[in-house]
């Protein structure tokens, strides 16, 4: 991986930063994107001396964004090998309570933007390239209240599989990482609520939280030659919640009122 170049969208967030750091540890040069220039600049300063990192502060949904992002990577680092579509919207709710404004936001940020950025990156990538989507287990199974969020995460899987089929013959691999809920700025406010614990922690066999580093490490692996024959796959990083019927002993023994 040493000397390869990656674009990571949503780079200044919890998972995005973890992906940047995991790639950097393998010698990858990274262009991070996001809307908050101050956060990206702080990340750049924090990584100084540890890896080569640059950023472009841009709205990923803007018509000019895909070309601007790819051109920035080429101008700064001279090539493009890896694209990590991480930026997304955490706007969710029941379908009958999802407004068109909510729907359009999720579609624009989490499906249209990565579609367009992937399309632009494909014009530059060659053999050995890798496109990754950081999605969610909510794209794997039905979830009450998932609404547009779940629909878009499932749509990302369809896009990834299509890319894998269409561009695999060019040596470009595409894969999808499906984390369970990770404790970040977006989720920490409800992390310890009883409802959240019942529907997440008590249904997960592994008795620890999923961390941003878990996702970053998986992204670095899938982008590397160690995963050179992994293509078109959805890899759940979820402690087993999506493939088991585990219920914690505390939940099993709970007395109904």
Task: Catalogue the active-site residues.
Answer: 149
CB–CB of 56/11 below 8 Å?
A: no
**Residue whose token pair is 């990538």:** 125
User: What's the DSSP call for residue 108?
Assistant: I
| Cα–Cα distance measured from residue 132 to residue 3, given in angstroms and rounded to the nearest whole number | 18
CB–CB of 231/164 below 8 Å?
A: yes
CB–CB of 239/210 below 8 Å?
A: yes
- Compute the 3-state secondary structure of the chain and give helix, strand, coil in percent, each to the nearest 5: 45, 15, 40
């Amino acid at each position: 991986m040493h000397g390869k170049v990656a674009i990571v969208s949503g780079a200044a967030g919890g998972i995005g930063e973890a992906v940047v750091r995991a790639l950097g540890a393998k010698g990858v040069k990274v262009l991070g994107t996001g809307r908050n220039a101050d956060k990206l600049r702080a990340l750049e300063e924090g990584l100084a001396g540890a890896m080569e990192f640059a950023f472009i502060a841009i709205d990923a949904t803007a018509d000019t964004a895909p070309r601007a992002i790819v051109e920035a990577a080429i101008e700064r680092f001279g090539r493009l090998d890896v694209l990590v579509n991480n930026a997304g919207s955490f706007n969710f709710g029941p379908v009958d309570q999802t407004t068109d404004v909510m729907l359009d936001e999720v579609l624009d940020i989490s499906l249209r933007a990565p579609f367009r950025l992937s399309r632009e990156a494909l014009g530059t990538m060659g053999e050995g390239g890798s496109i990754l989507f950081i999605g969610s287990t909510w794209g794997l199974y039905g979830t009450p209240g998932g609404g547009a969020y779940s629909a878009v995460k499932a749509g990302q899987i369809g896009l990834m599989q299509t890319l894998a089929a269409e561009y695999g013959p060019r040596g470009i691999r595409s894969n999808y990482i499906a984390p369970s809920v990770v404790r970040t700025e977006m989720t920490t406010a409800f992390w310890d609520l009883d409802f959240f614990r019942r529907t997440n922690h008590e249904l997960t066999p592994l008795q620890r939280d999923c961390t941003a580093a878990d996702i970053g490490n998986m992204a670095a692996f899938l982008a590397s030659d160690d995963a050179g024959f992994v293509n078109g796959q959805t890899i759940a990083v979820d402690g087993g919640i999506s493939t088991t019927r585990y219920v914690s002993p505390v939940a099993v023994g709970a007395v109904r009122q």
